[in-house]
């Protein structure tokens, strides 16, 4: 059986993708994660869900020699799904060099190793942040990318360029960049989910932690936008749907179905959900009222962004399945699991 390396496998999206890969059963899986934003407990959680135990190598991907040693140790590697990155937008503004160093160096080292060890298939975690504040909706892969608003966003924009330029000259490697919209939710068992190390910036973990009494009431930033209920519109996508897309993208590359050596796909539900609708979905899923207030608009927030993900449907055979209710119900189940565990 071939082996897939998942970098950042102890993190939020990486761990859900490992679960999908193990359930598919076509590949062995290993992880490299230095635990800078996660813990080895995730490996236990993956085992509890799948019944399979995988190895995580706790090394820094910025260390080329250590990364090479893992590739040497696994001559059966055929693909890499590269999730590992730092991702806190605010921190990236405060510490840009830390973000540029970590996110570029790790990507470059992965590409060097893939080329040297002829590991053919690479999937890169990108983001809808590459589109910036776009006013043409829905967003397709042909929509223009724009100057990133943070060093983090820039690591995705330039990361894609690094990948594209490298693939152009590579003898051994082909790649896909997947641009995620807003991944949320948790595994439906409630046994694995997002573990924000600090106060979450994202809506769903903020809602669940606030409902659990761990954070103050939610502030909805702006109730006077020109949308159906005045709040911002985002494209939320269940983390398990995102995970499934990675498995399908790996199969697509592995089976030689790609037409270009470097391709890009949006991963979104294709539907815009307002902040108030998300709050209502949570209240219904959790069977409780959520305390919130409506505050001023937050600088830098775009009014609405949602995807056209029909390219992924056409080529990868992938389509998001989970509803906003499923996303909220699983996120709440995970939050309750965490509280029981504490
Ligand atoms: N979660 C989102 O909303 C979102 C949206 C768009 C794109 N992405 C991208 O998806 C990827 C995964 O995101 P996530 O939400 O699972 O993040 P996460 O922080 O939960 O997972 C990333 C993992 O990478 C590890 N890591 C970071 N730098 C490393 C290094 N140098 N060496 C080894 N391990 C390292 C961290 O410890 C962490 O476990 C990231 O590239 C992120 O930028 C995430």
CATH number, domain of 243, equals: 3.40.50.720
Contact by Cβ (8 Å): 307, 181: yes
Regarding predicted confidence, which is higher, 81 or 199? Answer: 81
> In this structure, is residue 305 part of a structural domain?
no
> In this structure, is residue 248 part of a structural domain?
yes
What pLDDT does 299 receive?
81
pLDDT digits (tens, 9 = 90+) for 82-125: 999 999 988 999 999 999 999 999 999 999 999 999 999 999 99
A 10 A CB-CB count for 66 gives: 16
The least confident of 114-123, 157-166, 201-210, 297-306 is: 297-306
Contact by Cβ (8 Å): 116, 99: no
Catalytic residues: 152
Six-digit token string for 56: 């995580």
Residue 201 pLDDT exceeds 90: no
> In this structure, is residue 218 part of a structural domain?
no
Distance (Å) from CA 119 to ligand 1 centroid: 21
pTM of the model: 0.97
> In this structure, is residue 212 part of a structural domain?
no
Distance (Å) from CA 244 to ligand 1 centroid: 17
What pLDDT does 221 receive?
95
What pLDDT does 199 receive?
79
**Beta strand pairing status for 55-57 and 28-32?**
parallel
> In this structure, is residue 215 part of a structural domain?
no
Q: How many domains does the chain have?
A: 1
How far apart (Å, rounded) are the C-alpha atoms in residues 125 and 80? 11
Average pLDDT, the chain: 96
Please, which residues bridge with residue 175 across strands? 122, 262
Q: If DSSP codes are grouped into helix, strand and coil, which group holds residue 108?
A: helix
Helices (H) and strands (E) in the chain, counts: 11, 13
Task: Please choose from 67, 83, 185 the residue to mutate so as to test ligand 1's pocket, defined by most ligand atoms within 8 A of CB.
Answer: 83
Q: Going by CA atoms, what residue is nearest to atom 2 of ligand 1?
A: 183
Query: Residue 109 sits in which domain range?
Result: 3-184+237-268
Region 41-48: what's the mean pLDDT? 98
What pLDDT does 301 receive?
84
> In this structure, is residue 72 part of a structural domain?
yes
Ligand 1 proximal residues by C-beta, below 6 Å? 8, 10-14, 32-38, 60-62, 83-87, 102, 106, 125, 127, 180, 183
> In this structure, is residue 67 part of a structural domain?
yes
Task: Please choose from 7, 11, 163, 187 the residue to mutate so as to test ligand 1's pocket, defined by most ligand atoms within 8 A of CB.
Answer: 11
- Could you give the count of Cα atoms lying within 13 Å of 172 in the half-sphere of its Cβ? 12
Rounded to 10°, the helix 96-116/151-169 angle is 20
> In this structure, is residue 304 part of a structural domain?
no
């Amino acid at each position: 059986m071939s082996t897939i390396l998942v970098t950042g496998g102890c993190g939020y999206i990486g761990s859900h993708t490992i679960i999908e890969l193990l359930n598919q059963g076509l590949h062995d899986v290993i992880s490299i994660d230095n635990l800078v934003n996660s813990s080895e407990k995730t490996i236990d959680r993956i085992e509890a869900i799948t019944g399979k135990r995988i190895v995580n190598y706790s090394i820094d991907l910025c260390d080329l020699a250590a990364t090479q040693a893992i590739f040497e140790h696994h001559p059966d590697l055929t693909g890499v799904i590269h999730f590992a990155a730092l991702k806190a937008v605010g921190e990236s503004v405060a510490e840009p060099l830390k973000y540029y160093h970590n996110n570029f160096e790790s990507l470059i080292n992965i590409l060097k190793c893939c080329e040297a060890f002829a590991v053919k298939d690479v999937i890169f975690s990108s983001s809808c942040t590459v589109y910036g504040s776009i006013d043409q909706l829905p967003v397709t892969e042909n929509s223009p990318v724009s100057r990133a608003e943070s060093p983090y966003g820039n690591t995705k924009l330039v990361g894609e360029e690094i990948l594209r330029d490298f693939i152009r000259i590579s003898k051994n490697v082909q790649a896909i960049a997947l641009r995620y919209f807003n991944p949320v939710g948790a595994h439906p068992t409630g046994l694995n989910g997002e573990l924000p190390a600090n106060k979450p910036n994202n809506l769903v973990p903020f809602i669940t932690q606030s409902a659990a009494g761990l954070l103050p009431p939610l502030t909805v930033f702006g109730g006077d936008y020109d949308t159906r209920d005045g709040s911002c519109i985002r494209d939320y996508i269940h983390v398990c749907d995102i995970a499934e897309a990675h498995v399908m993208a790996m199969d697509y590359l592995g089976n030689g179905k790609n037409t270009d050596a470097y391709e890009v796909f949006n991963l979104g539900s294709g539907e815009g959900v307002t902040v108030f609708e998300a709050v209502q979905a949570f209240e219904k899923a959790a069977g409780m009222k959520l305390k919130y207030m409506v505050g001023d608009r937050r600088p830098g927030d775009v009014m609405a962004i949602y995807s056209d993900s029909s390219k992924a449907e056409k080529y990868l055979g992938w389509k998001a399945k989970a509803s906003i209710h499923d996303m909220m119900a699983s996120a709440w189940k995970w939050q309750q699991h965490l509280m029981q565990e504490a």
